[in-house]
Structures are given as structure tokens and as C-alpha cells.
Amino acid sequence: MKDSLKFNFTTHLGSFKLQAQSEFQNGINALWGKSGSGKTTFFNSLSGFLNKIEGEIIFNNKKFFLSSEKINLSPENRNLAYVEQQNMLFNNMNVLKNIEFGYKFSKQMAKQITPSDAVSLFDLKEYELSSINQLSGGQLQRVALARAFASNSPLMLLDEPLNALDLSSRKTIMQTINDLNKSLENMIILVTHSPLEVLNHADAILHVDKGKAEKTLSKSNLMNYLSDKEVINEIHQKSSKYYGDFFSSKSVMLVENSFALISEGFDFSGNIKSMIKNDDNYLIEIFDDNKYFVNISIDLFSNLNLSLEDKIYCFVYENLILE
């Protein structure tokens, strides 16, 4: 049976007001919006941490909140896992004890992932007995995710859960989250500022802007809500090559025929899998052994005369890459 989260509520937090209305299903649901738009307020409203709220929040016919009937379940009775931006792990417990804490609250029939599974999945075996105070920011985030998945909750709220990880680890962990979501068939709501994570992993996108979380986006119109700063060069360097990533036309040469390298940089080629257009640019998805996204101006695009499945060759000028 598919899970369903329906909500229609207004939250007041000081002078800020969030209005949210939509519905989520199983899968990875992305909240997309600028900092300060209301994404964390949205999560705190769903989880029961805020009081000045009106409307309804219903998960699988279970009424989390219904102001008309004066229903307001406490956070512990909403059976959800929440990975917050700040470290909310228990400092008096080691890594394994923190993960086991999440597991002991999961319902018996839902116990698909054990603490041992979570330790392995998030690559924490060598840190099992480590104190929380001994861990780096990225390691803390992996422990928080392991604890969340060990809870086997049907609903997970992940608020920028990967922002302290390097890009290589971030890709690996995001794929782990994606795989677990498919095997558990649960509902994940994810806040991320990475266009790549949204394009690769999100099943649905809710746009949050200036206190309104009501507009659903498709991947094809996501480009209209990306700034140039967000699209340019989300780059990871590994073994002297750049993988997986966003490049702008300011740093990359695109041609329709193979070429000899004449400068320091990184070359790649592949077939065009998608082309997303907004008012000024095209975002081109290129796939070979890896997936790349190149953001180019409409003028440059028109000169190239590109179509889906065309083979294209690219060269990234190393001195123009923004690390």
C-alpha cells in the first residue's frame, strides 16, 4: 500500500508565516527553495515541534494535526524520523548506541533494517564505539542518517543531511538513500540545495518560496527556479579528473566532432539524454559512463543545432573551473 501525506496548514513563527498545501506519496520528495523560504519551518510543522499552526496534516489517514478537531499529536507519536541540520545525536552514547536508540522505537513488523545493517550501509563500522564528540561533521551526518533508517520509520524528514560531506561521499550516501527508499518503499522528504540530487533522485518536487509551499515542479521546469550560481560547477575532483557534475558555458567548450586536446583540463563525451530550457539557458544532460550537466546560453545552443541522443564532445578549461 502506498503511503500518502496530505497537508493544508498555516504556521506562524514570529513575524514569519508559512502556508503549505499539497500531497506527497512514497518515494523521494524534494523541497526546493532558497534559504529562509520556509523549508525548515515546514519540517518543524510536520514533526510537531511548532504550536502556532492551523489546518491539517494527515499521514495514511492518521491525523497528526487537525485544528478543527483539536488534534495535535506529540512528535514521538507521529512515528517519523527527522534528521535536522544541526547535530541532535546523544553525546553520552557512542555511535552504535545512538543507532540502536532509533531501532528500539521501530515497530516489530517494520524492522527491516537492523543497527548492524545501518552501520554497514553508512560505512560506520570502524566508528561503532567512538564517542560522538570524536567525529567530524560528515561522520556525524552519516550517524544521524543511520539512526534514522534504523528506526524503520515510514516517513523521513531529511533537512540538508549531506551538507557536511565531501562530494564523493555525498554521491555515495545519496545513492544509498535512494536504494533504501526503493527497498523500504517509504516516504522521504528531502531538503537539498543540489540541483544534481534533485534531478537524479527526486520523484516529486515542491517549491517553497517566501513562505509558500504550494507549487509542485517537474524536472523539466526546475531550470526556471535555478539561479546561475546554483547551476555553475558543482564539481568533484578525483584522480585528476572531474566527475559527475555541473559545468557552465563559461568554462566548457562543446563541439559535435572529436578533437585533440590543446590545453590543461578535462574532456568528456556522451549522448544527450535531456535538454531543459528556461528564458536564458539550456541545461543539457550528457551521459556516457558518468552523467554530466552543462548549462549553456540559448545563443550557443542555437548555433550547435543539437537534438536528443546526439553525440557531443566537451572540454572543460581547468583554469576556469570554480572549485
What is the DSSP annotation of 41-52?
Answer: HHHHHHHT---S
Task: Kindly state whether residues 203 and 285 are assigned to the same domain.
Answer: no
CATH of residue 315's domain is 2.40.50.100
Q: Which three cell numbers stand for residue 46?
A: 510536520
pLDDT tens profile 26-50 = 999 999 988 889 999 999 999 999 9
What pLDDT digit, counting tens, does each position of 48-78 carry?
999 899 999 999 999 999 999 999 999 999 9
Write out pLDDT tens, residues 118-150: 999 999 999 999 999 999 999 999 999 999 999
One domain for residues 178 and 262: no
Judged against a pLDDT cut of 50, whether residue 231 lies above it is answered with no
Cα–Cα distance between 285 and 179 in angstroms, integer? 22
How high is the pLDDT of residue 255? 75
Q: How confident is the model at residue 222 (pLDDT cuts 50, 70, 90)?
A: confident
> What's the pLDDT score for residue 64?
97
Query: 270 and 189, same structural domain?
Result: no
The per-residue pLDDT for range 253-276, each reduced to its tens digit, is 777 777 665 555 667 788 988 888
Same domain, 234 and 218: no
Domain extent at residue 265: 228-320
523560504: which residue's cell? Answer: 37
Phi and psi angles of residue 91, each rounded to the nearest 5 degrees, phi first: -70, -20
Helices (H), the chain: 39-47, 95-104, 115-121, 137-150, 167-184, 195-201, 228-231, 298-304
> Has this prediction a pTM greater than 0.85?
no
In terms of domains, do 41 and 186 share one?
Answer: yes
Residue 296's DSSP bridge partners are 282
Note whether 58 and 152 are same-domain residues. yes
* Final residue in a domain of this structure, among 225, 245, 280: 225
Same domain, 154 and 198: yes
For residue 195, the SS3 value is: helix
Same domain, 162 and 232: no
* Mean pLDDT, range 294-302, rounded to an integer: 79
Whether 167 and 130 share a structural domain: yes
Residues 157 and 285 both lie in one domain: no
At residue 316, the 3 state secondary structure works out as: strand
Count of the separate structural domains present in the chain = 2
Question: CATH number of the domain that 161 lies in?
Answer: 3.40.50.300
Asked whether residue 118 falls in the same domain as residue 204, the answer is yes
- Tell which of 225, 256, 272 closes a domain: 225
3-state secondary structure of 177: helix
Lowest mean per-residue pLDDT among 186-195, 201-210, 214-223: 214-223
Q: How far, CA to CA in Å, does 35 sit from each of 53, 97, 143, 191, 209?
A: 21, 33, 25, 10, 9
d(CA 290, CA 288): 5
Query: Are 286 and 147 contained in the same domain?
Result: no
Which pLDDT score is estimated for 263?
55
Give the residue from 225, 248, 265 where a domain finishes: 225
Place of cell 537534438: 307
